Amino acid sequence: MDFFTEILWVFTIFSFLGWLVQFVPRIIKEKKFRNPGFLILPFLPSHGIGMALVFILFSGVKSLFVLFFGSAILLTLYKYALSMIFEKSFGFKWKDYSKKRFSLNGYVSVWEPFLYGALGLLAVKFCFAPLAELVRLLPWWVALLIPGVIVVLIAADFMISLITVINLRKNLKKMNDISVLIEENDEDEAEEELKKNYELRMLKSKKFRLRLVAAFPDMQSLNYEKQLSDFKKHFNLIREKNNETYEKKIENVEERPFAYGLCFSKLFWLFLIGSAFGTLLETFWSIFIDGHLEMRVGVVIGPFIPVYGGGAVVITLCLYRLHKSGDLVVYLASAVIGATFEYLCSYFQETFLGTVSWDYSDTPFNLHGRTNLTFALIWGLLGLVWLRYLYPLISRMIERIPKKPGKIITIILVVFMALDGALSIASITRYADRKDNIAPKTIVGETIDTVFNDDYMNFVFPHMAKPGEFFENNKKLDEKRKSG
């Protein structure tokens, strides 16, 4: 079991390091955020599998000569086979060395075996043994669970990406057939119709397929170079269309749609949608990361987490004028803004309500336990996706709501959320008072104690507690889940 666990850790760590090695030079060179991998997640499984093979075959070898040349031969053959399978399966070369001297059929360059030999040697001599020691320090189930979950996520991500590439190839073939007809047709009217069909085919391409093209800047299509070029152009068209949302100006007040611009109505709907999205995100997080289904909301009535809604509003207000900036600028700004907002929410909850709902004190690079580097990076990603793609789409959807019904519905929802917020604050206050054996002084307090009793509050706020009780409560919840 220890050897199998170590293999999982080698695969996971080197998959991430391989992604990082390609990501950092690219972001420095291009000065914009772009995923260099085949997957959505920040992992390159091909690198992880290669180093796992080195670990299995050479981790017990002492000879430097055998380590170097054994790793060089193993990883070169592995890269050659992987590249050939990729090309034969999908019609693409993920890296093409055909124009370089002494390459092996365009799959492997002449200098790569020396790099692979050095990597294998360094990994065996300096990485594998310390990694094994660190793994043995962890409880066996933790050591197995962490890489196991990551491997499952990578496998699911791989299947999604694989299906996307297959559909991409089919779509490119259809576009190629259309372009051939355009070239062979001499009638202007027929040519215009064929071009329209070609553009429609492009518009049906999903954004994720565009990301795959961007992930492989050196990828060469065997038959569809023109279509890939058009694909990249269409990706830019999508971003230009989204930019119109930020720049659209309607001078005539009567012609303006519902919730035009960054008015109160627009911001409120963004808050509402962001709060609902936060509940959905936290639910998936509890299932796939924490391993159990758990209710996670921020108010006593309704599926809303105001921290996410407020984050959507704050990020929109702060980044609205940065829509023309590079992805890296937007990402870093979102990370700082989101982490700051999360910190302030935690501070005010503890200061004014005397409770905490999250504490990251046991995580690396945390700031007073209120936020940490990991969640700052997540905020950065959410902000980037929000500014580039989600906000323009949601903004246009909100503006399609008819004016009069939209105003009425907005007023009703504002009143509901205000009452829900006030009731939530009162319920949290009484929840804390009950822990200190403070009896209610009014009939309102008695009603809250009856309706929103401890069982209900523990259900909707499973992690909320006084600062000193937070870790103790989480430990009890974990023990209860194990025994249940």
**Residue of 88, 90, 87 whose CA lies nearest to 162:** 90
Assess contact for 39 and 45: CB atoms under 8 A. yes
Mean pLDDT over 251-258 rounds to 85
Q: How confident is the model at residue 205 (pLDDT cuts 50, 70, 90)?
A: very low
Q: Which of 217-226, 382-391, 463-472 has the highest mean pLDDT?
A: 382-391
**Whole-angstrom distance, CA of residue 244 vs CA of residue 393:** 11
**Whole-angstrom distance, CA of residue 278 vs CA of residue 392:** 19
pLDDT tens, residue by residue, 441-472 = 889 889 999 988 988 888 888 766 665 555 45
User: What pLDDT sits at residue 422?
Assistant: 93
Has residue 408 got a pLDDT over 80?
A: yes
Assess contact for 61 and 67: CB atoms under 8 A. yes
Q: How confident is the model at residue 12 (pLDDT cuts 50, 70, 90)?
A: very high
User: What pLDDT sits at residue 465?
Assistant: 63
pLDDT tens, residue by residue, 148-180 = 889 888 888 888 777 766 666 666 565 555 555
Assess contact for 402 and 258: CB atoms under 8 A. yes
Q: Please report the sign of the dihedral spanned by the C-alpha atoms of residue 146, residue 151, residue 153, residue 154.
A: positive
Has residue 415 got a pLDDT over 90?
A: yes
**Residue of 313, 310, 288 whose CA lies nearest to 299:** 310
**Whole-angstrom distance, CA of residue 387 vs CA of residue 405:** 27
pTM: 0.49
Which residue did the predictor score with more confidence, 417 or 29?
Answer: 417
**Whole-angstrom distance, CA of residue 120 vs CA of residue 47:** 12
Which residue did the predictor score with more confidence, 264 or 475?
Answer: 264
Q: Count CB atoms within 10 A of the CB of residue 366.
A: 16
CA distances from 72 to 54, 109, 112, 121, 360 (A): 10, 13, 8, 9, 43
**Whole-angstrom distance, CA of residue 393 vs CA of residue 436:** 48
CA distances from 30 to 9, 209, 245, 387, 416 (A): 31, 21, 26, 20, 47
> Which range is least confidently modeled, 39-48, 117-126, 138-147, 177-186?
177-186
**Whole-angstrom distance, CA of residue 227 vs CA of residue 63:** 50
CA distances from 294 to 80, 261, 299, 309, 460 (A): 46, 37, 15, 20, 9
- 302: phi > 0 → left, psi -120 to 50 → alpha, else beta; which? left
pLDDT tens, residue by residue, 70-101 = 899 999 888 888 888 877 766 666 676 777 76
User: What pLDDT sits at residue 148?
Assistant: 87
Q: Are strands 92-93 and 371-372 parallel, antiparallel or unpaired?
A: unpaired
**Whole-angstrom distance, CA of residue 140 vs CA of residue 144:** 6
Q: How confident is the model at residue 133 (pLDDT cuts 50, 70, 90)?
A: confident
What is the three-class DSSP state of 372?
Answer: strand
Has residue 218 got a pLDDT over 50?
A: no
> Which range is least confidently modeled, 232-236, 305-309, 348-352?
232-236
> Which range is least confidently modeled, 141-155, 202-216, 237-251, 276-290?
202-216
User: What pLDDT sits at residue 319?
Assistant: 86
Helices (H), 185-263: 188-203, 207-215, 225-247
Which residue did the predictor score with more confidence, 232 or 48?
Answer: 48
* Beta bridge pairs of residue 356: 465
**Residue of 162, 182, 178, 69 whose CA lies nearest to 119:** 69
**Whole-angstrom distance, CA of residue 138 vs CA of residue 33:** 34
What is the three-class DSSP state of 235?
Answer: helix
Residue 367 burial class via C-beta count within 10 angstroms: exposed 0-12, middle 13-18, buried 19 and up: middle
User: What pLDDT sits at residue 466?
Assistant: 61
pLDDT tens, residue by residue, 20-63 = 888 787 777 766 666 777 777 888 898 999 999 999 998 888 88
**Residue of 328, 412, 419, 421 whose CA lies nearest to 377:** 328
Mean pLDDT over 425-449 rounds to 89
User: What pLDDT sits at residue 187?
Assistant: 47
User: What pLDDT sits at residue 289?
Assistant: 62
